[in-house]
Amino acid sequence: MKRDRVVGLKHPEDARPQLAPIGLEGGDQIQDAVRDLITTYHSLNPSTIDTLSSEPSPLEFMRYVSLNRPFVIRSGARSWPAVQNWNASYLLSAMHDNSVNVAITPHGNADSIVTLDAHTKLFVKPFETPLPFADVLRSIQQQEASAPSPDVHQQTQPSTPPIFYAQTQNDNLRAEYTALFADVPDSVPWARIALQKPPDAINFWLGNSRSTTALHKDPYENIYIQVLGQKHFTLLPPICAPCVNEMGVLAATYRPRSSAPAAGYDDLVMQVDEPSEYVPFAAWDPDSPERNGTKYSRLAQPMRVTLGEGDVLYLPALWYHKVAQTCDEEGLCCAVNYWYDVDFGGGFWSMANFVRGVGLLSLRDGDGDGEDGRGASDDAAKKTVDGN
């Protein structure tokens, strides 16, 4: 076969292929690629959350899902019976003394990292026990009435133990709170049509300002409806996984020091789980950015939004979120959320995990910019491990 003629090639080696240009601004190392990924994302996406004045169509909603971007619908659930009717009296009348599962912690810090000293931490889950709903409701209100005004940006609130929070997250609105289920739709229509599936879980949340949910992520498309009081969300996109200082933390669970019924829940201790387990969890708090950070944390641009009664938040899958609360005049904060399973097909899930993995690998040569690379000791939630 006759070769095509080449004109202007001075040296044959000039035609040897070279490495493709990386296109990075700051260098050619893995950390440079991670840094460029985060900064490029922020340059291409707004640092605010879209606010809608009405429900989206299924097609409009699917556009947000495909972009993995949140939005808020102000007063989007204002006509729901739950938003119209729920208050302390209504909840008590519907639930009576039905037994419900309640999470109890000394600092309102369920499912969060507790720092023991500069080098040791535990991931602590709440003590959970069934109690009559009337007792749970009364305790939540009394705690709020006796507590100082909270700082919604704190990781944990000043100690007024024990702190009660109804937060079982196991489709509880269709189980132990079924007496209230008729007051909400069995699915969010525009989400059900767009995603072509019913919700995997519908959850009921009842607490007060003493509880704060630490920064974490969920593998669900989340439709969150505020019913009573306010919720204050701090959000980070999945691309910020290298910023949150995820580490494997030894798991523990709060339990009463004494098994005697009269002891109550005023003296909770952290019991290390058996068998032992290390839970991957974010150690960085965007509201205390100087502590527990990584070399990438300063690149994060947290987004903040407050939900009022009747507001709806779409929280996309794998978005990191920290949640604080403000109560209504009755000392209650109540919400309902719908979890829809994420679609594992396409590229989103695998790419999100790739970003997380590469970010963690790039941190193994040097962890952080703080005093000890893993952050200094934290707050009033610090306790000493007790073998009792």
Lowest mean pLDDT among 140-149, 152-161, 179-188: 152-161
Residue 87 lies in a domain: yes
Whether residue 205 contacts residue 224, with contact meaning beta carbons closer than 8 Å, is answered with no
Based on the number of CB atoms within 10 Å of its own CB, is 365 exposed (0-12), middle (13-18) or buried (19 or more)? exposed
Length of the chain: 388
Any idea which residue has 């720092």 for tokens?
Answer: 115
Is the pLDDT at 382 greater than 50? The verdict is no
* All residues at 6 or more sequence positions from 274 whose CB lies less than 8 Å from its CB, including other chains: none
Is the pLDDT at 348 greater than 90? The verdict is yes
Is the pLDDT at 380 greater than 80? The verdict is no
φ and ψ at residue 322, rounded to 5 degrees: -115, 140
Is the pLDDT at 248 greater than 70? The verdict is yes
Average pLDDT of the chain is: 90
Is the pLDDT at 3 greater than 90? The verdict is no
Based on the number of CB atoms within 10 Å of its own CB, is 182 exposed (0-12), middle (13-18) or buried (19 or more)? exposed
pLDDT of residue 160: 60
Largest interatomic CA distance in the chain: 97
Lowest mean pLDDT among 10-24, 49-63, 95-109, 301-315: 10-24
Residue 6 lies in a domain: no
DSSP state of 48: S
Q: What percent of the chain has pLDDT over 90?
A: 79
Whether residue 342 contacts residue 220, with contact meaning beta carbons closer than 8 Å, is answered with yes
What is the crossing angle of helices 88-95 and 133-146, to 10°? 160
pLDDT digits (tens, 9 = 90+) for 208-234: 999 999 999 999 999 999 999 999 999
CA nearest neighbour of 268 among 279, 255, 258, 259: 255
pLDDT digits (tens, 9 = 90+) for 175-209: 999 999 999 999 999 999 999 999 999 999 999 99
User: What average pLDDT does the segment 238-266 reach?
Assistant: 87
User: What average pLDDT does the segment 255-266 reach?
Assistant: 73
| CA 83/CA 180 separation, integer angstroms | 12
**What range defines the domain where residue 301 resides?**
48-362
Residue 285 lies in a domain: yes
Lowest mean pLDDT among 13-27, 28-42, 151-165, 373-387: 373-387
Residue 15 lies in a domain: no
Is the pLDDT at 371 greater than 70? The verdict is no
| CA 6/CA 131 separation, integer angstroms | 85
CA nearest neighbour of 213 among 135, 155, 272: 155
Q: Which long-range contacts (CB under 8 A, 24 or more apart) does 344-348 make?
A: 348/68, 348/317
Any idea which residue has 């058996």 for tokens?
Answer: 274
Listed in sequence order, the DSSP H helices in the chain are 30-44, 58-67, 81-85, 88-95, 133-146, 189-195, 348-362
Residue 385 lies in a domain: no
Looking at residue 116, which CATH number applies to its domain? 2.60.120.10
Q: What token pair was written down for 236? A: 């980070």
Residue 292 lies in a domain: yes
User: What average pLDDT does the segment 265-277 reach?
Assistant: 93
| pLDDT band at 266; cut points 50, 70, 90 | confident
pLDDT digits (tens, 9 = 90+) for 29-76: 899 999 999 999 999 999 999 999 999 999 999 999 999 999 999 999
Count the domains in the chain: 1
The total of other beta-carbon atoms located within 10 Å of residue 181's CB is: 18
| CA 338/CA 55 separation, integer angstroms | 16
Residue 388 lies in a domain: no
pLDDT of residue 149: 56
Residue 13 lies in a domain: no
